[in-house]
Chains A and B, each alone.
Chain A
Amino acid sequence: MTTKKKLSRGRAERLLSSYGADINRYPRDEINQARRSFADDPELQSAAAEVAGLDLLLDMSQVQVPSSTLRRATAEIPLRHPRLSTRPPKTMVIPFPLRTWQATVLGLLAGAMGVIMGLRPATAPGLPEDVVQIGNSTAHNSRTEDTGDLEELASLAFADDFAFTDDSNLTDFEGASTL
């Protein structure tokens, strides 16, 4: 013998207040029980009739439909955002043996370090302080007639703020610290 279960009054009222009068909106496993409960209970039926009025009003709300512009823009998404590759490579491809690759990287690093060390301004012992050694060559930094033009141009451009001083080199002028 099968007992046809019904919902408790509280649960039936809860379903009405949450989902409205349309039983098809109720949780699937409670639909049959709800149907039986409403069929046998005039109070629930009148409560459902009242709630159905709100359902009808809600159904009057108008839904926005996509414009043709939106349809076009959406359809163009794959064109405007092409996939670079549909499948990423599983492993990194190294075009030559690993030992050679490692040696090349180390060599490049060492070379870069050497260049950096060689380019660093340093005053060689025995040279005047205004002579800067760059690699094997030397450059004299004292003011010459050539830098006189530069000074004139700088004073025209920056007034007195960036004028060269007697004991400064080309990269150390007044006002630089404020930049």
Chain B
Amino acid sequence: MEERLQHNEWMRDIAAGDPAAFRSLCDRFLGPITGYAGRMLKNPQEAEDVAQETFLRVWTHSRSFVPTAAVSTWLYRIAHNLCMDRLRKHKRTSDRISELGDEDRPSLLLGRKELAAEVDRALAELPDRQRAAIGLVHYEGMGQAEAARILDVSVQALESLLSRARRALRKQLTGLQLSEPSP
């Protein structure tokens, strides 16, 4: 709760043109927003563009922030909408993985790096909204209400997205194991 108050205070100062408050907000949220955009877009450069655009909008539209929602919700929603815009433009499909031959299929025992790459690939294959739901709840550790608000769906719909996403991931990743013991 205290953190939320602090964020609101930063937003108020940013709206008044305070660069120091803007820097504080960047320090707190640039990493998570970049991470979220990275998971959504699977393109590091585009993810950075989205993160930068998100904070540019924070600076230029700070007066439109209404503190009924958490600052984090507002930020993630801006980033999410920017990601969805880019994904719509690219019309990414799952063609890439379906084009892979049998020789490209993962073996059951993989090194840590390879396994992580397979997980990333499986995540990238998810429909955008399912990937967003997993990104917000599993990776960003966001509460249901906040994640649902960012995705503009009900909590029930969010749970449905999560459930379908996890089912698809289990199907993609079934049988994969780490060949080396965890450190």
Instruction: Using CB atoms and an 8 Å cutoff, list the residues of chain A in contact with chain B.
Output: 14, 17-20, 25, 27-28, 51, 54-55, 57-58, 60-67, 69-71, 73-75, 77-79, 81, 83, 86-87
Report the count of interface residues on B (CB-CB < 8 A).
46
B167 to chain A: which residues have CB within 8 Å? 17
Residue B73 is within 8 A (CB to CB) of chain A in the complex: no
Cα(A25)–Cα(B166), bound, Å: 14
A28 lies within 8 A of B138 (CB): no
Judging by beta carbons under 8 Å apart, are A77 and B56 in contact?
yes
B67 at the interface (CB under 8 A from A): no
Which residues does chain B contribute within 8 Å of A75, judged by CB atoms?
A: 23, 26
B112: chain A residues at CB < 8 Å are 60
Contact with A along B103-146 (1 / 0, CB 8 A): 00000000010011001100100000000001001110101100
- B interface residue numbers (CB < 8 A to A): 16-17, 19, 22-23, 26, 30-31, 34-35, 37-39, 44, 47-48, 51-52, 55-56, 59-60, 112, 115-116, 119-120, 123, 134, 137-139, 141, 143-144, 155, 159-160, 162-163, 166-167, 169-170, 173, 176
**Quick check: A70 and B48 within 8 Å, CB to CB?**
yes
Return chain B residues, CB-CB under 8 Å to A54: 166, 169-170, 173
> Does A61 lie within 8 Å of B39, measured CB to CB?
yes
**Contact B159–A14 (Cβ < 8 Å):** yes
B55 touches A64 (CB 8 A): no
